[in-house]
Amino acid sequence: GENVEQHPSTLSVQEGDSAVIKCTYSDSASNYFPWYKQELGKRPQLIIDIRSNVGEKKDQRIAVTLNKTAKHFSLHITETQPEDSAVYFCAASRGAQKLVFGQGTRLTINP
């Protein structure tokens, strides 16, 4: 089955700098890759997703890139702000298979 690995497990950046979180997946047939943000004590919420027919997707300060050949996808956050501090989860799935989540990255934005 699918296996998703996420790195780094913790990330600390200065406010205003960029943050990058990377995930690798094992199933080359995976075609759906969402990213979730979970603030402390809250539920995970979808922030952006990408499908395998697209190489990059942007939404304001966040973007996701997908490299199908290397089987990895990344979350990019530019001009980071204190409210970006949270745990971020990537996930992958194919067809009618269930989502498999990465282990999560705790992002801290330092003022």
Partner 1 sequence: DAGITQSPRHKVTETGTPVTLRCHQTENHRYMYWYRQDPGHGLRLIHYSYGVKDTDKGEVSDGYSVSRSKTEDFLLTLESATSSQTSVYFCAISESVGSSPLHFGNGTRLTVT
Interface ranges with partner 1 (CB under 8 A): 6, 31-32, 34, 36, 42-46, 49, 51, 89, 93-99, 101-104
Identify whether the C-beta of residue 36 lies closer than 8 Å to the C-beta of residue 49. no
CB 11 within 8 A of CB 88: no
- Which residue type occupies 62? I
Shortest distance, CB of residue 16 to partner 1, whole angstroms? 29
Q: How far is the CB of 57 from partner 1 (least distance, A)?
A: 13
Residue 88 Cβ vs partner 1, minimum distance, rounded to whole Å: 11
Nearer to partner 1, 51 or 61 (CB): 51
